[in-house]
Amino acid sequence: MQYFAYPALFFEDEGIINVRFPDLDISTQGDNFTEAFLFAKDLLRVYFCYVLKYDLDFNLPSKVEDLIKTCKKGEIAMIVDAMVGPKDIKTLSKKV
């Protein structure tokens, strides 16, 4: 199993909670904070399944403190993590 933890920026726009991972240039959204957080965890897991499967380069995580400094009103920065194992990569291969 490999563990990944990246800072994410959460913000509301027109009633939807958006989540952006600035270091990876990926994003997702949810109808509420809990859903957005869970979708963010899953997005991170799937992203790194592809990275590991295809041996792709990726950016290392920046410090969440640096992201907090850039937050605008209504934005929340926090760490989102995901575990990726061989079974996840194998399952990904079956779905593609």
Confidence of residue 77 (pLDDT cuts 50, 70, 90): very high
Mean pLDDT, residues 71-75 = 96
Strands 75-84 and 16-21, sheet pairing: unpaired
Mean pLDDT, residues 54-66 = 97
Confidence of residue 94 (pLDDT cuts 50, 70, 90): low
pLDDT at residue 95 in the model: 53
Tell me the percentage of the chain whose pLDDT exceeds 70.
Answer: 96
Domain 2-95, CATH class in plain words: alpha beta
* pLDDT one-digit tens code per residue, 35-53: 999 999 999 999 999 999 9
Domain ranges of the chain: 2-95
Tokens 């990569």 belong to 89
SS (H, E, C) 55-74: CCCCCCCCCHHHHHHHCCCC
Mean pLDDT, residues 77-96 = 84
55 vs 69: CA distance, rounded Å: 32
25 vs 17: CA distance, rounded Å: 17
Sheet holding 75-84, edge to edge: 26-30, 16-21, 2-13, 75-84
Give yes or no for residue 58 having a pLDDT over 90.
yes
Classified as helix, coil or strand, 88 is: helix
